[in-house]
Amino acid sequence: MSDVTVSIDLDASPAEVWDVVEPIERHVEWMADAVAIRFETEQTRGVGTKFLCDTKVGPIKLTDHMEITAWTPPVDAAAGTPGTDGVMGVKHTGIVTGSGVFTIEPLADGSRSKFTWSEHLDFPWYLGGRLGEIIAGRFVLAAIWRRNLRSLAELIAAR
């Protein structure tokens, strides 16, 4: 299993960040490896939402079957009360299996956020198995996802 974690500090409150990442169908706007998203359920938000994500990394194209497993919008800090983290979890059940989570934590006074993207992925033998997990996960995917987080920061800044 490959464990990949990337993070970025953002100039927006957790609630402002959630407003951008909450619409799953818009993930293609900031994820370079996500080509298209198609929902398999009527619902498009919250735990139980299922969708297909066409993914492309270099010459490798696949359809990632995903289900939302955690959905906790953040609460920004208010006068005298601490904010709470936002969490969006996902289960991968396609060719590549595993789980992932986005966590949005308030920084300092709550006007900034830390966005962390963690994935635990298993690759099939024909995508390199354990060796593919190490090479793709630790090097290729981590680099792509860091770039994705920079794109997310640009999208948030443009709001």
Tokens 């994705």 appear where? 148
SS3 per residue for 48-98: CCEEEEEEEECCEEEEEEEEEEEEECCECCECCECCECEEEEEEEECCCEE
Mean pLDDT score across all residues of the chain:
91
Residue 81 has pLDDT above 70, yes or no: no
Residue 104 has pLDDT above 80, yes or no: yes
Can you give the pLDDT at residue 129?
77
Q: What is the mean pLDDT of residues 88-95?
A: 94
Can you give the pLDDT at residue 135?
77
Distance CA 17, CA 114 (A): 9
- pLDDT: is 110 or 7 the higher one? 7
- Angle at which helices 14-21 and 142-157 cross, to 10°: 110
> Could you tell me the domains of the chain?
2-157 (3.30.530.20)
**Per-residue pLDDT tens digits for 5-15:** 999 999 999 99
